[in-house]
Structure 1
Amino acid sequence: MQLTLGPVLYNWKPEEWRDFYFRIADEAPVDTVVVGEVVCSKRSPFLESHIPAVVERLAAAGKTVLMGSLTLMSLPRERKAMAELAADEAFTMEVNDLTCLGMLGGKPHAIGPFVNIYNEATAAYFATRGATRICLPPELPLSAIRAIARSQPEVTFEVFAFGRVPLAISARCYHARLNKLSKDNCKFVCDQDPDGLAVTTLDDEPFLAMNGVQTLSYTCASLLGDIDKLRDAGVGALRLSPQQCDMVAVAKLFRDVVDGKVSAAEGAPQLERLYPLRKSNGFLFSKPGAAFITDSGDVRRIVPAA
């Protein structure tokens, strides 16, 4: 079973972003790394000068590099940028917006978790269009994952296994609105929350998290204890989404559990120390996403659903 490091979803400082990937290249036992700005195109210019060095470092370390597309294209300049990325023969694109399929013209590509693939027929359609790997949406239950993965054995299926869960994307910017700014003059205030900004209910309970134009779960998904179930279902890769924690250590822990060097029971408290945000895996068991289901089937804890 492979490990994939998903794209950084947050607005990190460019040098921090670059150094993060340099360390991933040098130290993290991941097989595939997704690079690029997938949430907000306004952030892209800050990263462009660093992308060649990041890709070169990752490739030199033996990682497979995918270039992530934007999740929502709404402007001509965004479509132009994605068309240029799709035409670049040096990279394999991970598609997060279906507009990119026409740009690719059937070239081999990956599909990100932002594309709604909920059944075997949809997975088969994308496979015939050139998809060689598919990261399934994080809200799918295990039964659906199993049915889809077994229907297309030639495709590598991946599941979102760690990180705040991406739930929605909008044309409006929540961070700008919160700070009484327009989206066009946002002053990039989302960089004040490099791990997302928690959203609470009227009862002051954490509910969701916002990241510019993106809505995330408040809880951190963790399928560390469910790896054997996913392997048996035909899942070929686990996706780790970068958070403000030691992601090299997170990757090493997942690698050790996948390889059987550490049990999931032994690994769980280690993961809590690495990233103490409340964990969840409810979607996998057809429960509210913010629930955490134990091996015995008990709901260990639940917060307002996300």
Structure 2
Amino acid sequence: MATRSLLTLGPVLFNWPVDQWRDFYARMADEAPLDVVYLGEVVCSKRAPFFEDAIPDVIERLTAAGKRVVLASPILVTTDRERKAVRDLVEAGELEVEANDLGAVAQLAGKPHAVGPFVNVYNEATLGWLASRGATSVSLGAEMPAASVASLTQEATRLGVETEVQVFGRVPLAISARCYHARVHGLHKDGCQFVCGQDLDGLGVETLDDQPFLAVNGLQTMSHTYLCLAAEIAELQRLGVGRFRLSPHTVDMVRVAKGFRAVLDGERAGGDLAAELAGLVTDAPLANGFFHDAAGAAYIGSHERMTA
């Protein structure tokens, strides 16, 4: 019998008001057919105190609803306070941790843990090294073409490690110590006034020719387009990928999750879901170019794939 594909939800990457953040996870617990939920502030440690008091209740509600909760570590750790936060996360030992930088990987050595998409895993040797240190799952970067996903998934299967691929949401491209959101508003990082909270799905960036280009989220650079691999689900399953990751946005994520669950279970065509999501996401187009070894911002439809 084939192993059931897992539908996972990455951490909220944006600075949402705490009430909206809490309500989002309550709805995910009660209505979304998710298997694993990654939880935590991974982009900017300055935001973390807003959510600290709400996290225990969110964990309890998700767990009671049958979701497995994994605590995600920060992407960029630069201060003693941030290093202590990661150390406390690792040493708590109550829940599985997703390592999103090599410092967390080092601290988790010898313990079963997940490796997030912010740790670059581009070859079999890196995958093997991570597996030898306790990694049980690895989330591959969204810029991976199908051939690379196939090679790494084959090696991961041999090592007894699960692979995960992001299938929905803006693609994280880079992280910086400098806050782009603050700079846009003429502010410094230390006095940012949390202006990133004005853009709940990221702040659009245009080229000098006024063409949509990227999005910024505090310290993070993201794609303008929303990655959508709904039509590629069957191929990813054939390659052996076992975990399929959604990245939270302000669109109806219950609807998104139900759609992907139906495709994963063979109850709905992936192309039909992609067409639905194109109407649901109104602030940017969908894209799947990276997977097809094309420009990441492109959307390669079934016709283009057959003629490429």
**Please, what TM-score do these two structures have when normalized by structure 1?**
0.96
Partner of 1:169: 175
Partner of 2:147: 143
Q: Distance in 1 between matches of 2:91 and 2:259?
A: 37
Partner of 2:198: 192
Partner of 1:258: 264
Paired residue type of 1:272:
A
From 202, 214, 220, the counterpart of 1:214: 220
For residue 274 of structure 1, report the CA deviation from its aligned partner: 2.2
Local SS of the residue matching 1:293 = coil
From 55, 59, 62, the counterpart of 1:58: 62
1:242 pairs with 2:242: no
How many percent identity over aligned positions?
52
Partner of 2:298: 291
Unmatched 5+ stretches in structure 2:
none
Partner of 1:304: none
Paired residue type of 2:264:
V
For residue 118 of structure 1, report the CA deviation from its aligned partner: 0.4
More off after superposition, 118-127 vs 96-105:
96-105
Partner of 1:92: 96
Unmatched 5+ stretches in structure 1:
301-306
Partner of 1:69: 73
For residue 266 of structure 1, report the CA deviation from its aligned partner: 2.2
Partner of 2:163: 157
**Please, what TM-score do these two structures have when normalized by structure 2?**
0.95
For residue 296 of structure 1, report the CA deviation from its aligned partner: 2.8
Q: Distance in 2 between matches of 1:105 and 1:288?
A: 36
Local SS of the residue matching 2:304 = coil
Q: Distance in 2 between matches of 1:101 and 1:245?
A: 32
For residue 299 of structure 1, report the CA deviation from its aligned partner: 10
Q: Distance in 2 between matches of 1:138 and 1:229?
A: 15
From 101, 106, 111, the counterpart of 2:105: 101
Q: Distance in 1 between matches of 2:306 and 2:154?
A: 28
Partner of 2:17: 13
For residue 298 of structure 1, report the CA deviation from its aligned partner: 5.0
Deviations 1:159-182 (A, max 9, x none): 011000000000000011111111
Q: Distance in 1 between matches of 2:288 and 2:65?
A: 32
Deviations 1:99-126 (A, max 9, x none): 0122223111001101100011111110
Deviations 1:218-262 (A, max 9, x none): 000000000011111110011100011010100000011111111
Q: Distance in 2 between matches of 1:4 and 1:149?
A: 17
2:204–2:224 Cα contact (<8 Å) kept: yes
1:291–1:299 Cα contact (<8 Å) kept: no
Q: Distance in 2 between matches of 1:298 and 1:231?
A: 18
Paired residue type of 2:105:
L
1:157–1:235 Cα contact (<8 Å) kept: yes
2:228–2:274 Cα contact (<8 Å) kept: no
1:40 pairs with 2:44: yes
1:292–1:299 Cα contact (<8 Å) kept: no
Paired residue type of 2:151:
A
Q: Distance in 1 between matches of 2:275 and 2:129?
A: 41
Local SS of the residue matching 1:242 = coil
1:72–1:169 Cα contact (<8 Å) kept: yes
Q: How many residues align?
A: 300
RMSD: 1.3
Partner of 1:303: none
For residue 33 of structure 1, report the CA deviation from its aligned partner: 0.2
Runs of 4+ in structure 1 off by over 6 angstroms are none
Paired residue type of 1:261:
E
For residue 269 of structure 1, report the CA deviation from its aligned partner: 2.3
2:114–2:136 Cα contact (<8 Å) kept: yes
Partner of 1:269: 275
